[in-house]
Chains A and B, each alone.
Chain A
Amino acid sequence: MDDEQREGGDVLRLENASLGFGERTLWSGLDLSVKRGEFIAVLGPNGSGKTSLLKTVLGQQALDSGRALLGGAPVRSGDRRIGYIPQQKLVPPGTPLRARDLVALGVNGHRFGLPLPRRGERERVEELLADVGATSYADRPVGSLSGGEQQRLRVGQALADDPVLLLCDEPLLSLDLAHQRGVSELIDRRRREHDTAVLFVTHDINPVLDKVDRILYLAGGRFREGTPDEVLRGEVLSELYGSPVDVFRSHGRVVVVGVPDAQTHAHHTHHPPDERPGAHA
C-alpha cells in the first residue's frame, strides 16, 4: 500500500453505482467513499439492497452501471484484503471443528495442499483468539458455543489477514444485548487500533450508534448518506420513504416510527436471546 493511501485515501469507493433486479431498482447513482478507520452503518428496510451492496463489494455481484473500487482497483471476488463477517448462523452441534479451527480457516482455509499448518500459523491463530477474547474456549467444539461466542470467532476469522475493510452483514442479529455490545466493541476497537474501515449492515442502529461515523440509509430505490444526526431525522426519512416517518431519541437510543413497510421490523429494540440453537434460520 503506497503512502497516499496511508495518508487517508479511500479504501472503498462506489462511483455512480446502480443495481436492480428486473424492473426493480435497488439503488442508483450511489456514490460512497470510505476512508481508513471509518465506521459506516448501512441501514434500510428489508429488500432495500443492503446485502446486495455487500455482495457488490465482495465482487460477487456485478453492478448494472458505475464502478466499485477497493484501494483504487475494481473489486474482485475472493479479495483477501476484505474481512467478511456474515449474519450469525449457528454452527450445528456435532460439527467436527473446535473454536480455534474456525479461526484457523481465516488464516489458511483457502489454501489447497496437505492440511498441515505452516510455520507461524499456530501462533497467529493464538493471537487472533486472544484478540477477540476467545482463548478460554479455544478448544471447545464450535457447535457447543453460544451464538455470541461463535460470532466472536467469526470476527477473529475475518481479521486473519489484517484486512483494510471489514464487511459486516447484520453481525449482531439474534444476539442478546451483552453479546451485541461485546461484538460491536470488538469491531470498533479494531478500526480504532488498526485503522480498518468498517461497512456495517444492520437493521438496528442502536447497538452501534455511539460508534458510527456515517450512515448510508437505503430505502425505496433511493439513499441518503451523512452523519447520524444528519440522516436520522424525521424530515429526511419522510422524504426518503415518501411518507411521514418520525424519529424519536430517548436515553441515547433512536426509535424510528411509521416506516411504511410493517414487515421490516426496522429499529426494533428487543432481541431474542441467542442461546437457542436453530432459533435463527
Chain B
Amino acid sequence: MIDLDTYVQLLGLVQNSIIAGAVLGLVGGLVGVFVMQRDMAFAVHGISELSFAGAAGALLLGVNVVAGSLVGSLIAAILIGLLGARARDRNSIIGVLMPAGLGLGILFLALYPGRSANKFSLLTGQIIAVDSPQLAWLVGISLVVLVALLLIWRPLTFDSLDPDVAAARGVPSRFVALAFMVLLGLIVAVSVQIIGALLVMALLVTPAAAALRVSASPVLVPMLASVFGLFSAVAGILLAIAGSLPISPYITTISFAIYVVCRLVGRASRRRLRAAV
C-alpha cells in the first residue's frame, strides 16, 4: 500500500488516463445498449481480436499502435457488417475471423523483439502505458463515436427492433447497420488500448446488460449503462494505481459486481410487481 501523498502525486500523473477511461466508459455503455439489442456481443469479441492483431502488427512494424488497432477493428467490423446481415451468418463469420485474428496477433508478438510488457498489455490492457498524445486520440475517437451514435440513434433503434418495418418506413437499413458497425469498430479499438482485447466486453456489454436488468425505459437504460461504464472504468483505474496489480481486473470485477447487483434488484422488483398484480 502507498501513503496518501504518493497517491495524490500518482493521480496527477495518470490524470489523462482517468479522463480517457471515463469517456470510454460512458460511450461504451451507450454503444452497449445497441450491442445488446442487435445481439452482437459475440461480434464485439470478434472485432477485438482483429483489433489486437492490428495493434500487434503495428508494434512489430514500429508504427502507431492505435492506428494499427483501428485498422484491424474497422476491417473486422465492416466484414461482419457486410457478410453477416443474418445472425447465423454473422456468428459463423465471427467464429472464423476470431481465431485467425488472435493467431495473427500472437505471431506478430512472438516476432516482436521489444519489451514483453508491451505485448501483454494489448491482450489484458494497461492504460498507464499509453502516452499522452495517444490518449488524446482515444478520447477524440470516443467523442466522434458519441456524436455519431446520437445522430443515428432513432433510425438505429428502429432498425434494431424491426428491420423490415424500418426499411418500409424509410430507414436506410444497410447504411444504418454499417454505420453502427463502423462505430462499434472504433470504440472497440479504443477499448483494446485501455482494458485489452480479451476484456473489451466488460465495458461494451456488461454495463448495458446490467442496465437492461433494472429498466426498460429508452431514456433510463442508456443513462444507467453509461454511468455504470464510467464508474467501472474510473473506479478501476483509481483502485489500481494504489497497488501494483494491473487495471483490467479491477474494471472487470467492478462491472461484473454492478451486473450481479442489477440482476438481484431486477428480480426483486419483478417479484414485487407480480405480487402487486
B138 at the interface (CB under 8 A from A): no
Q: CB of A84 within 8 A of chain B?
A: yes
Q: Write out the residue numbers on chain B whose beta carbons fall within 8 Å of the beta carbon of A142.
A: 216
Quick check: B158 and A109 within 8 Å, CB to CB? yes
Is the pair B151, A112 in contact by a Cβ cutoff of 8 Å?
yes
- For the complex, is B23 an interface residue (Cβ under 8 Å from A)? no
- Chain B residues contacting A136 (CB-CB under 8 Å) are none
Q: A110 with B166: in contact, given A94-B212, A97-B161 (CB under 8 Å)? A: yes
Is B155 positioned at the interface, with any CB of A under 8 Å from its CB?
yes
Minimal beta-carbon separation of B277 from chain A (angstroms): 11
Say if the beta carbon of A65 comes within 8 Å of chain B: no
Shortest beta-carbon distance from B169 to chain A in Å: 5
Tell me the residues in window 104-133 of chain A with beta carbons closer than 8 Å to chain B beta carbons: 105-106, 108-115
Whether B162 and A89, one on each chain, are in contact in the complex, defined by CB atoms closer than 8 angstroms, is yes
A-B contact number at CB 8 A: 93
Residues of B within 8 A of A84 (CB): 164-165, 168-169
In the complex, A86 has a CB within 8 A of chain B = yes
Q: Is A82 a contact partner of B168 (Cβ separation < 8 A)?
A: yes
- Grouping DSSP codes into helix (H, G, I), strand (E, B) and loop, the B interface class, with mixed when no group exceeds half, is helix
A22 to B: closest C-beta gap in Å: 21
B157: which A residues are within 8 A, CB to CB?
97, 105, 109, 115
| Contact B161–A105 (Cβ < 8 Å) | yes
> Is B118 positioned at the interface, with any CB of A under 8 Å from its CB?
no
Instruction: Name which residue of chain A comes closest to B166, CB basis.
Output: A109
- Interface residue B37 (Cβ < 8 Å from any Cβ of A): yes
Residue B50 lies at the interface, judged by CB distance under 8 Å to chain A: no
CB pair B155–A112 under 8 Å, yes or no, is yes
Which residues of A have CB within 8 Å of B212? 94, 96
Whether, in the assembled complex, A77 has its beta carbon less than 8 Å from a beta carbon of chain B, the answer is yes
What is the minimal beta-carbon distance from A88 to any residue of chain B, in angstroms?
11
Interface residue B170 (Cβ < 8 Å from any Cβ of A): yes
Q: CA A84 – CA B151 in complex, angstroms? A: 25
Name the residue of chain B whose CB is nearest to the CB of A89. Answer: B162
Residue numbers in A under 8 Å from B215 (CB-CB): 96
In Å, the complex CA distance between A115 and B33 comes to 15
**Which of B150, B152, B164, B221 lies in contact with A96, CB distance below 8 A?**
B221
Residue on A nearest B150 in the bound complex, by CB: A114
Residues of chain A with a CB closer than 8 A to B218's CB: 96-98, 101
Query: What count of chain A residues pass the 8 Å CB interface test?
Result: 35
Residues in chain B near residue A108, CB distance under 8 A: 154
- Is B137 positioned at the interface, with any CB of A under 8 Å from its CB? no
CB distance from B168 to the nearest CB of A (A): 4
Within 8 A of A (CB), among B137-157: 150-155, 157
For A97, the chain B residues whose CB sits under 8 A away are 157, 161, 216, 218
B-chain residues with CB within 8 Å of residue A102 when the two chains form the complex: 161
A219 to B155, CA, bound (A): 37
Q: How far is the CA of A109 from the CA of B39 in the complex (A)?
A: 20
Verify if A211 is at the interface (C-beta below 8 Å from B): no
Q: Are A111 and B162 in contact (CB under 8 A)?
A: no
Instruction: Decide yes or no whether A18 CB sits under 8 A from chain B.
Output: no
Q: Contact string, B202-241, partner A, CB cutoff 8 A, digits 1/0?
A: 0000000000110111101110000000000000000000
Partner of A115, one of B150, B167, B213: B150
Q: Contact: A77 with B167, CB < 8 Å?
A: yes
Contact, CB under 8 Å: B37 / A112: no
Do A78 and B216 touch (CB < 8 A)? Answer: no
A159 to chain B, nearest CB (A): 12
CA distance A117 to B234 in the complex (A): 33
Q: Verify B158–A110 contact, CB threshold 8 A.
A: yes
- Closest approach, in angstroms, between the C-beta of B257 and any C-beta of chain A? 20
Residues of A within 8 A of B37 (CB): 95-96
A89-B162, A97-B218, A143-B216 known; A114+B167 contact, CB < 8 A: no
- Asked whether, in the complex, the Cβ of A106 is within 8 Å of the Cβ of B169, the reply is yes
User: Is the CB of A20 closer than 8 A to any CB of chain B?
Assistant: no
Asked if A96 and B154 sit within 8 Å, CB to CB, the answer is no
Q: How far is the CA of A60 from the CA of B165 in the complex (A)?
A: 12
Residues of A within 8 A of B152 (CB): 112
Does B171 have its Cβ within 8 Å of any Cβ on chain A? Answer: yes
What's the least CB distance linking B236 to chain A, in Å? Answer: 25
Q: Least Cβ distance of A144 to chain B in Å?
A: 8
**Cross-chain contact A79 with B170 (CB below 8 angstroms):** yes
Query: Closest 5 interchain pairs by CB?
Result: A141-B216, A78-B170, A109-B158, A96-B221, A84-B168
Ordered by A's residue number, 20 sampled pairs between the chains whose C-beta atoms are within 8 Å are A60-B167, A80-B170, A84-B168, A86-B165, A89-B162, A91-B161, A95-B37, A96-B222, A98-B216, A105-B158, A106-B169, A109-B154, A109-B155, A109-B157, A109-B166, A110-B171, A111-B155, A115-B150, A157-B165, A167-B168
Residues of B within 8 A of A (CB): 33, 37, 150-155, 157-158, 161-162, 164-172, 212-213, 215-218, 220-222
